[in-house]
Structure 1
Amino acid sequence: MLYFFQQVLNGLHSGALYALLAFGYVLTNGILHRTNLAYGALFAFCGQTMILTAAFGYQVLWLTLFAAVALGIVAAFLYAALISHILSRSIFEPLADRTPNAIVVTTLGILLLLSEASRIAADTHDLWLPPMLAQPIVFAQNAGFKATLTLIQLLDCAVVVATVALATFAFARSSFGRRWRAVSDDPRAAAMCGVDVRAVFRQAVLAGGFCAALAGIMAGLYYGNISFGSGLVYGLKILFVTAVGGYLSPPRAALGAAAFGMAESLWAGYFPVEWRDAWMYLFLVAMLVLIGAGRDQSKVA
């Protein structure tokens, strides 16, 4: 029983990262209604930027570890703001009215560009942060086993819960949330009612970029490293999860992504981990097929 409890605790952390990514992804795609493959790349790029900047601050500027990490976090958020600005104005807005494939191909190119930029900046070397806040917190134990989470995992979960909760509250009560829902439902009707559709879209892309940056920072601090190809893996998972749950509600997408992270953790605890991603993708594809079939039947009825 304690082993199962340990897998649940592990799932809380991975689910928190997925939840934050899904929340930010839906903020953009709820308005864009196009597949954005660059989102996962932005997550990985910001995490790698944090690690590279921290290494530069520690080794070259002779900063303390805490100051170097703080510098890396600031750099990651600045790059997230810059990339989000470029994406919204130079990519998404000009291509929003084109065929869906235009956005897919362009964001795939951006994914490759960001991945290669990170690889070149790191000189194709993996830089690792030292373990931080790795003290285990015991939740339950018996004679031979302890169910634990590290302090950094607890902090990550707390940050995600606080961020998503505050964002959900603001999304439900603020004028931005009302304008976002109006634009997501019908941008032309919203524009006729006086809503600045471009401003709403740019704010949504920026907020989504900050969510990706925060998730990348937390993943980098916990794992110590983010590989060059992890952006595609995380991006595809979030794409499938949000496609199953829909793009109309960022909080609902966050809950679905958290459940997906929990399912991944349970699979890794009881089944061969090398088959985890394959079976999880197969499950998501099956869910998409069932949802599509259900919608078709409702239309016929």
Structure 2
Amino acid sequence: MLEITKRLVELLYLAPIGDDHFRGDSQDLGFPHVFGGQVLGQALMAASHTVENRLCHSMHAYFLRPGNQHMPIDYEVQRVRDGRSFAVRRVSACQDGKEILTAIMSFHSLEDGFEHQAVMPDAPDPASLRSEQDWGKLVAPHVPEKLGEIMTRDRPIEIRPVNPVNPLKPEKRPPHKQSWVRALGPLPDDPVLHRCLLTYASDFSFLGTSLNPHGVSFMNKGMQIASLDHAIWFHRDFRMEEWLLYDKDSPSASAGRGFNRGNFFNQQGTLVASTTQEALIRQR
């Protein structure tokens, strides 16, 4: 396993600090606050530690406060229900005695059933695309040094955007985005870890979908953007070191909020997970 990926995996595997209580460190990605995907992934790992022989199939979370990346995060899991097929857990993530995220997750035993799925949309092969870091190197000379370092640094999650927006000169586009994503593997054969990694990755470049029709980016003066909530559904098994197409659209923006939806497909066209997120997209 690559060292940079190993650090992320270690970040997601939380340390137990008591009955159904866990603690995780934070990773400095250069953002002002803790990356939301990290808190989501760690919360899912905390809940998964309290469930046996079942995997998470859905997660609904609210971001309550920005997290401090220089402080550990404590995760408290409440065992809401253990049924014959499903188990439900509630997770609270806290720093300095204050809740920064609350989430509820459902776990399901493997069973057979009806099968159908959406058709995978057309997308260029990931081998034909540049990574976000490659695009960042083109932009870096024109932005402050610290921001340039953030845009070009190595990451455990490789993202190759389709038709990326120039954040310095955003243009109005339809409310749709695509990117190929994968973890730089190889990775252990732990389906819980792969779900936590996809949860982590699902927060990258998601809310920007609702900015597309308005010709603005996070770099526009006066823009205040933040994830408000996040939901994810796991449909089928997958491996995060294999390319997944993240196809995103935004059906609506109003009242300073943008609503976003996403689907993850593997390269064989199988729909493996779906996401939704509402974000604050306020222009002061």
Check whether TM > 0.5. no
Structure with the higher strand share, 1 or 2: 2
Structure showing greater Rg: 1
Higher helix residue share: 1
TM-score by length of 2: 0.32
Q: Given the two structures, how large is their TM-score scaled by the length of structure 1? A: 0.31
